[in-house]
């Protein structure tokens, strides 16, 4: 392939990547990321060698806890020279292979994430790069890649342990295979595109943390049967649409629903946050999560489980729940005898 044709292919790929980035400009979250770790190199005359590599770039997603993210990146590996011992006879030593070449690439990845519990995640990714290889006989070409990651989605930094395969096709065979392993840091909530905060001194990241802590604290209060503490996280006019369809309005009604007298037969509700989106314009936030009802304690026999959403409002520096909608999705034991409103 000539340098001119390579340049044209690189330009075409750049156009595709920029189009994808432009489509993501309505994202609510833009974040930088970096990654580093060992790389196993095989193919193209390299008989399996370990070297080092890294990636850096910028990502776009539709929200802090959105399942999908689009990432643009630059990646590279370090050349690792493997000396060949040449005997006096002039023949190359048996088993001697060439050095692992250095590589550099510009590419795009789509990553789909599944959040579980308090921010833990599993993610699968796929995309392609235009890879340049230091060896002149390989040059540059398009290279697909796929990855799997596990880790945690924190309020400021998301940390994942990733395994990724980059394959560089070749006209004379398989080409080059790079197996990357490493730690990736994503600096989340770094930028909110198109948003102008009403209160610049208040960080959206801090608000997300405050809402998550408030939810955990209310769970603890409900498990203890602490009436005052449980109600302190609701507005006076709080509304609830219960898991099977019933409506409740006001603090007193909500306390009656969750109950505060604890015994071996009382129902204890637990809500686990999976996502929080805070408005940069209004003092409002949207929370999503899973909920469960257990008998006697948060770890007692489970009866009903489902998902929920909540509207939070910030008043006098505190985040309060103004409305919640629960949907029952599964049941166990006595919970399956419950009847939903028509």
CATH number at residue 169: 2.40.160.20
CATH number at residue 329: 3.10.450.50
Q: Are residues 125 and 230 in the same domain?
A: no
The range of the structural domain enclosing residue 313 comes to 204-337
Q: Are residues 30 and 169 in the same domain?
A: yes
> What is the Cα–Cα distance from 219 to 117, expressed in whole angstroms?
14
* pLDDT band for position 176 (cuts 50, 70, 90): confident
* pLDDT band for position 43 (cuts 50, 70, 90): confident
Partners of 327 in beta bridges:
307
What pLDDT digit, counting tens, does each position of 14-39 carry? 455 445 444 444 445 788 999 999 98
Mean pLDDT across the stretch 54-60?
Answer: 89
pLDDT reported for residue 13 = 52
Q: Which of 152, 187, 222 is the last residue of a domain?
A: 187
pLDDT reported for residue 115 = 67
Q: Looking at the predicted structure, is the pLDDT value of residue 85 above 50?
A: no
What is the residue-averaged pLDDT of the chain?
78
> What is the Cα–Cα distance from 167 to 178, expressed in whole angstroms?
6
> What is the Cα–Cα distance from 142 to 73, expressed in whole angstroms?
14
Residue 243 per-residue DSSP state: T
Q: Are residues 105 and 223 in the same domain?
A: no
* pLDDT band for position 82 (cuts 50, 70, 90): low
Q: Are residues 25 and 160 in the same domain?
A: yes
> What is the Cα–Cα distance from 167 to 175, expressed in whole angstroms?
7
φ and ψ at residue 152, rounded to 5 degrees = -135, 145
pLDDT reported for residue 99 = 63
pLDDT reported for residue 215 = 94
Tally Cβ neighbours within 10 Å of residue 86: 11
Q: Which of 153, 187, 221 is the last residue of a domain?
A: 187
Q: Are residues 24 and 138 in the same domain?
A: yes
* pLDDT band for position 122 (cuts 50, 70, 90): confident
Q: Are residues 254 and 221 in the same domain?
A: yes
pLDDT reported for residue 197 = 38
Higher pLDDT, 310 or 198: 310
Region of residue 158 (left: phi > 0; alpha: psi -120 to 50; beta: else): beta
Pick from 310, 320, 254: nearest CA to 283: 320
Q: Looking at the predicted structure, is the pLDDT value of residue 94 above 50?
A: no
Do residues 296 and 277 lie in contact, with contact meaning Cβ atoms separated by under 8 Å? no
pLDDT reported for residue 187 = 81
Residue 342: inside a domain, yes or no? no
Lowest-confidence region among 120-124, 145-149, 266-270: 120-124
Q: Looking at the predicted structure, is the pLDDT value of residue 320 above 90?
A: yes
Residue 197: inside a domain, yes or no? no
Alpha-carbon torsion, ordered 149, 154, 157, 163, to 10 deg: -10
* pLDDT band for position 95 (cuts 50, 70, 90): very low
Angle at 47 between CA 81 and CA 179, to 5 degrees: 90
Residue 181: inside a domain, yes or no? yes
Mean pLDDT across the stretch 235-245?
Answer: 95
Residue 178 half-sphere exposure toward CB, CA atoms < 13 A? 34
Q: Looking at the predicted structure, is the pLDDT value of residue 128 above 50?
A: yes
Residue 85: inside a domain, yes or no? yes
Which strand ranges, in their side-by-side order, compose the sheet holding 284-295? 247-249, 234-241, 318-331, 302-315, 284-295, 267-278
Which single residue is written with the structure tokens 């489970």?
302
Residue 114: inside a domain, yes or no? yes
Q: Which of 187, 214, 242 is the last residue of a domain?
A: 187
Higher pLDDT, 175 or 306: 306
Domain count, the chain: 2
Q: Are residues 217 and 177 in the same domain?
A: no
Tally Cβ neighbours within 10 Å of residue 76: 16
> What is the Cα–Cα distance from 230 to 232, expressed in whole angstroms?
6
Q: Are residues 78 and 18 in the same domain?
A: yes
Q: Which residues contact 128 (CB under 8 A, 6 or more apart)?
A: 13, 107, 108, 142, 143, 144, 145
Q: Are residues 173 and 221 in the same domain?
A: no
Tally Cβ neighbours within 10 Å of residue 232: 15
E strands within the chain?
Answer: 29-43, 46-61, 68-77, 103-116, 120-133, 140-153, 157-170, 173-187, 234-241, 247-249, 267-278, 284-295, 302-315, 318-331
Residue 275: inside a domain, yes or no? yes
Residue 194: inside a domain, yes or no? no
Lowest-confidence region among 47-56, 150-159, 211-220, 287-296: 150-159
Residue 76: inside a domain, yes or no? yes
Q: Are residues 182 and 41 in the same domain?
A: yes
Q: Are residues 157 and 234 in the same domain?
A: no
Mean pLDDT across the stretch 77-91?
Answer: 58
pLDDT reported for residue 250 = 93
First to last CA, the chain: 67
* pLDDT band for position 117 (cuts 50, 70, 90): low
> What is the Cα–Cα distance from 118 to 277, expressed in whole angstroms?
15
Q: Looking at the predicted structure, is the pLDDT value of residue 218 above 50?
A: yes
What pLDDT digit, counting tens, does each position of 177-195 carry? 888 998 988 886 533 333 3
φ and ψ at residue 70, rounded to 5 degrees = -115, 130
What pLDDT digit, counting tens, does each position of 245-276 carry? 999 999 999 988 887 677 778 889 999 999 99
Q: Are residues 218 and 312 in the same domain?
A: yes
């Amino acid at each position: 392939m000539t340098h001119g044709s390579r340049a044209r292919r690189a330009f075409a790929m750049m156009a595709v990547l920029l189009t994808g980035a432009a489509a993501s400009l309505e994202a609510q979250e833009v974040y930088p990321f970096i990654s580093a770790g060992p790389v196993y190199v095989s193919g193209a005359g390299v008989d399996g060698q370990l070297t080092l590599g890294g990636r850096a770039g910028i990502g776009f997603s539709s929200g802090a806890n959105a399942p999908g993210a689009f990432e643009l990146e630059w990646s590279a590996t370090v050349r690792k020279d493997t000396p060949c011992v040449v005997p006096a006879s002039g023949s190359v030593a048996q088993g001697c292979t060439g050095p692992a070449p250095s590589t550099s690439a510009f590419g795009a990845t789509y990553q789909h994430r599944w959040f579980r519990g308090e921010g833990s995640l599993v993610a699968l990714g796929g995309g392609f790069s235009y890879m340049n290889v230091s060896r002149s006989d390989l040059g540059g070409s398009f290279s697909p890649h796929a990855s799997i990651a596990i880790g945690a989605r924190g309020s400021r930094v998301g940390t994942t342990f990733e395994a990724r395969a980059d394959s560089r096709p070749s006209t004379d065979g398989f080409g080059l295979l790079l197996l990357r392993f490493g730690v990736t840091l994503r600096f989340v909530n770094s930028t909110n595109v198109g948003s102008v905060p009403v209160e610049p001194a208040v960080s959206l990241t801090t608000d997300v943390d405050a809402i998550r802590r408030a939810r955990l604290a209310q769970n603890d209060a409900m498990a203890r049967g602490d009436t005052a503490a449980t109600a302190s996280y609701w507005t006076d006019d709080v509304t609830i649409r219960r898991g099977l369809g019933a409506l409740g309005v006001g603090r007193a009604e909500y306390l009656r629903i969750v109950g505060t007298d604890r015994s071996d037969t009382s129902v204890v509700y637990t809500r686990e946050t999976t996502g929080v989106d805070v408005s940069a314009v209004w003092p409002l936030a949207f929370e999503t999560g899973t909920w469960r009802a257990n008998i006697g304690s948060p770890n007692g026999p489970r009866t009903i489980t489902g998902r929920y959403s909540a509207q939070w409002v910030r008043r006098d520096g505190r985040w309060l729940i103004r409305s919640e909608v629960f949907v029952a999705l599964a049941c166990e034991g006595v919970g399956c005898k419950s009847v939903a409103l028509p």
